[in-house]
Amino acid sequence: MNLTLYVWRQNGPQEPGRLERHEAHDVSPDMSFLEMLDMVNQCLIKEGAEPIAFDHDCREGICGACSLTINGIPHGGFRRTTVCQLHMRHFKDGDTIYIEPFRARAFPVLRDLVTDRSALDALVQAGGYISVNTGSARDANAILVAHEASEYAMDAAECIGCGACVAACPNGSAMLFTGAKVAGLARLPQGKVEARQRVCVMTEAMLQHGFGNCSNHYECEAACPKGLSVRFIAALNREYLKTLL
C-alpha cells in the first residue's frame, strides 16, 4: 500500500506545531501502525531528516504508551484496540491518514506525537492505592473477597492509564480513569477503610491538574481501548456523595 500521512510536528511544548506531509510506500497490510511509523522514520533518517518522535513500550496493548490520535479519534476508533494493536489492513491503498498527539489541557505536547501524561500518575499518587503495612506477606485467604466484588474490581483494573478517555472528552475529563480507580478499590474490603479520603483527594487532584468535568458525552467509553464503562463514573459520583452525608 502507498499512503499519504499528515503528521503533527512540534519541537517542544512552547513551540508552534504544524502538520507535515509524508509519503509511506510499500506498506504491508500485516504491519502494525507503529511498525509503519518505524518504516517512515527509517526513510527520514536515511534522508538526513529528523525522525518523528512517538511513544511506545510494550506494543502488546498493555502499557498505553502508544497513545495517538488517528484521523481525529484516539487510538484510531477501532473497538478495544490500542494504536500498537491497530494493523494497516484496516486502511486502503491511497488513503490519507492524519496523525496527531492526544489533545487535552492536562497533556502538554513534549515533542511531535509525544505528550506528558504524568497528570494521570499524579492522580494515582494522590490516593489511587491501598495503604498497607510492609513486612511478611499475609496469607492469601486472610481477607475474604466476595466473587462479585473481585469481578467488579478486576473490570475496573483493566484501565491501562493511556488517557484516551481524556483526549476524547470535549471537557478533557479524567473521571472515567479516576472512577475506575476509586470504584474498584472501594468495592474491596481492603479499600473501604480509605474510601472517603481517597475520593476526596483524587477529585481535588483532578481539579488541580487541569482536568474538566463529566457532562455525559460518553466519548470516554467509546474511545477506551479496554472497554471501561461509564458506570465507574456513576460509582465515583456515588462515592463522593457519601462523603457529604
Q: What is the pLDDT of residue 221?
A: 97
- Under the banding of pLDDT at 50, 70 and 90, the label for residue 245 is confident
Q: What is the pLDDT of residue 129?
A: 93
Task: Could you please state the CATH topology (level 3) that the domain comprising 3-111 is classified under.
Answer: Ubiquitin-like (UB roll) (3.10.20)
* Cα 225-118-176 angle, rounded to 5 deg: 40
Residue scoring higher pLDDT (228 or 131): 228
Which residue intervals of the chain bear CATH 3.10.20.30? Answer: 3-111
Give CA separation, 238 vs 111, 207, 234, in Å: 39, 18, 6
Q: Are 74 and 51 in contact (CB under 8 A)?
A: no
Q: Average pLDDT of 137-156? A: 88
- Residue 139 carries which DSSP code? P
Which residue intervals of the chain bear CATH 1.10.1060.10? Answer: 117-242
Asked if the model's pLDDT at residue 175 lies above 90, the reply is yes
Q: What is the pLDDT of residue 164?
A: 98
Asked if the model's pLDDT at residue 140 lies above 90, the reply is no
Quickly tell me which residue has 475474604 as its cell.
144
Give CA–CA dist 28/241, Å, rounded: 52
- Under the banding of pLDDT at 50, 70 and 90, the label for residue 133 is confident
Give 94-118 pLDDT, tens digit per residue.
999 999 999 999 999 999 999 999 9
Q: What is the pLDDT of residue 20?
A: 97
Three-state SS sequence of 64-132: CCCCCEECCEECCCCCCCCHHHCEHHHCCCCCEEEEECCCCCCCCEEECCEECCHHHHHHHHHHCCCCC
- Under the banding of pLDDT at 50, 70 and 90, the label for residue 141 is confident
- Under the banding of pLDDT at 50, 70 and 90, the label for residue 135 is confident
Give CA–CA dist 133/129, Å, rounded: 13
Q: Average pLDDT of 53-78? A: 96
Q: Which CATH number is correct for 117-242, 3.30.450.40, 1.10.1060.10, 3.90.1150.150, 3.40.50.300?
A: 1.10.1060.10
Asked if the model's pLDDT at residue 230 lies above 90, the reply is yes
Q: Are 235 and 182 in contact (CB under 8 A)?
A: yes
- Under the banding of pLDDT at 50, 70 and 90, the label for residue 213 is very high
Asked if the model's pLDDT at residue 126 lies above 90, the reply is yes
Confidence (pTM): 0.93
